[in-house]
Structure 1
Amino acid sequence: LKILLHKVIYHLLEEMGRLIVEKAPGTAETQISGEAEVLNIFELKGRSKSKGPDIKIAGCRITDGRFSRTGTMRLLRSGDVVFEGPCSSLKREKQDADTLDKGTDCGLVIEDCDEYQVGDTIQCLEQVIRKPKFISTQSGAVRIEC
């Protein structure tokens, strides 16, 4: 336990506010981290049951932001959500990738999805933890914004 000793009340308020913000768990939000356009569709044929089923790969160009293999992918057609699920594969020139940035061509597979069409949009969604912010002014006023 930290003992707080202050001669001026606003110094105490500032320190208490910083402690509250530091300990606050924050709130989880889903945000769009990137967007890509489907330019082509490739199909990998499963050679046998042991090698797995046929897989459709969306050949895309990332038009905004960045894509992460750990993100959730949302397939949009004419602005409507067609499918949403985890990314099971993200590749650039046949090499596995963890993240890819705007302007990059890539192949991606959304788990259990085979509904891609040329012209579709794919969004990469990521969870972000928003922490509250402590704000103090020169006049001594303090507040916490969530």
Structure 2
Amino acid sequence: MANPATVDDLTKRSLRPLTDTDRTVGAVLLDDAWNILLMQKPFAESKVGEVPSFRAVVVQILCAAVLRLLANPDGKYSETIDDYQYTLDKARSTGALYLSDAELALLGDGSGATSGAYTIVPGGVRGGKQPSTFHTVGSAAL
């Protein structure tokens, strides 16, 4: 499947008008970001075609990665005017296009199962099934 994110998607998400150079480089970077995503989440290619909401999140993530690079092409983290000094952003100082851990977590592991910080499984429960002795509040016989 082709990259779901387009230069038009990138333009719509930009906080400034994109120059012709931004658009040209952005198109290449969107393809690079898509390839990075597929290396880390191989299931994404088939799921993009099947689940519209997943596709929307993928487009959002790819555009965010590219816009990070376009917004700060020099990779500066800070800059001082008097006695000039600047510091390179550690994540960007290599000039790398990257997908953040939070962005990759949004895509899950492809199994459709929930897991992670927001999943609470009661002790003794395996595979997400409730034990037969499980009672909700008010249903237990006293």
Q: TM-score, normalised by structure 1?
A: 0.19
Higher relative contact order (CA 8 A, sep 6+): 1
Max Rg structure: 1
